[in-house]
Amino acid sequence: MIWLVYDGSFEGLLTTVFEVYEYKWPEIHIRKEGMAVPPLFAEIRHVVTDDEKAKRVWKKLIGLFGPSGVRTLWISWLSELETIEETILEVIRYGLKLQQHVLNDFGNLHVLQLQQAVKSVGREKHRMEAFVRFQLTKDAIYFSVIEPDFNVLPLILSHFRDRYADQKWFIYDSRRAYGIYYDLERAELVDFIPNALLSPNGLSSEAFSENEMLFQKLWKDYFKSTNIVGRKNIQLHVQHVPKRYWKYLVEKRL
């Protein structure tokens, strides 16, 4: 069995798909560079990302699945699930075989797996749109740290750009070490974090504006007053607000 290792970019994956057909490999595994180590005696081939090959696959896929279908493939890929590349490849193979837009064939195992990944990513995207909590810095930047299970920053960019068009903001994914920075002109994915925001041992409280602590206090108060004590239902609460997010939520921090 051949293990194809690509650089972890979507273009890299498209190049890989191209080469699977180019070299007519019957059975293969696909992994991102740096992910789980293949078995000791596996034959490993590194795929070099090639814009030309990627473009040709992209065009073919647009013809087969339409722009929204290709977006669906891309969203499933953002799940970063260990074998998602193989699932995507199987769906492409299935679509090519039938020469049809097969993404609604929920009866097909690979399509179903892909759609389930899309659903998980979608849920997390929605959660991040809800759970981002901005803190206002002295430099007038609204700053937030998140740690999503899936790589959803590219998906939430437009939501925050449309919503907070008149304030500077920065959302940082601490798990993947990159963020989105909006400077009143454009929102872009960036792989730095302003030094003013992060001290070696985390956020420095001096970085924040005078009013910031007041608003956090008011929000915590509001969260408390709006609760009906006689109806306490922690199980339901935790189901909606999973504990792994608590450390980033003002109202759930002590």
Partner 1 sequence: MQERIQEKLNILADSAKYDVSCSSSGSDRKNENKGLGNASASGICHTYTEDGRCVSLLKILLTNHCIFDCAYCVSRKSNDVKRAAFTVQEVVDLTIGFYRRNYIEGLFLSSGIFKDADTTMERLVRVAKKLRLEHGFNGYIHLKTIPGASNELMHEAGLYADRLSVNIELPTERGLKLLAPDKTFETMEKPMGFISETLTALNDTRKLIVSTPKFAPAGQSTQVIIGATDESDREIIQTADRFYRGFNLKRVYYSGYVPVLSDDRLPSLSMQVPLLRENRLYQADWLMRFYGFGAHEILDDSNPNLDLEIDPKFGWALRNLHLFPLDINKADLELILRVPGIGVRSAQKIVAARKFGNLGWENLRKLGISLNRARYFIVCKDRALETKDYSAETLRHLVLATANSKFSQLHGTQTSLFG
Q: Identify the three-state secondary structure at position 234.
A: helix
The two tokens of residue 245 are: 């997010």
Applying CB under 8 A, does 157 fall inside the site for partner 1? no
What Rg, from alpha-carbon coordinates, does the chain have? 22
| DSSP codes, 171-207 | EEETTTTEEEEE-SS-EEEES---TTTEETTEE-GGG
93 binds partner 1 (CB under 8 A): no
Q: Name beta bridge partners: 178.
A: 173
DSSP class of residue 159 equals H
Binding mask 116-155 for partner 1 (x = CB under 8 A): ----------x--xxxxxxxx-----x-x-----------
Is 223 a binding residue for partner 1 by CB under 8 A? The answer is yes
Out of 62, 218, 247, 253, the only residue in the binding site for partner 1 (CB under 8 A) is 218
DSSP 59: H
Identify residues 176-215 at the interface with partner 1 (CB under 8 A): 184, 211, 214-215
Is residue 251 part of the contact set for partner 1 (CB under 8 A)? Answer: yes
How distant is the alpha carbon of residue 195 from its chain centre? 24
Give 24 or 231: the residue with its C-beta nearer to partner 1. 231
What residues line the site for partner 1 (CB under 8 A)? Answer: 102, 104-108, 112, 126, 129-136, 142, 144, 159, 162-167, 184, 211, 214-215, 217-219, 221-223, 225-237, 239-241, 249-252
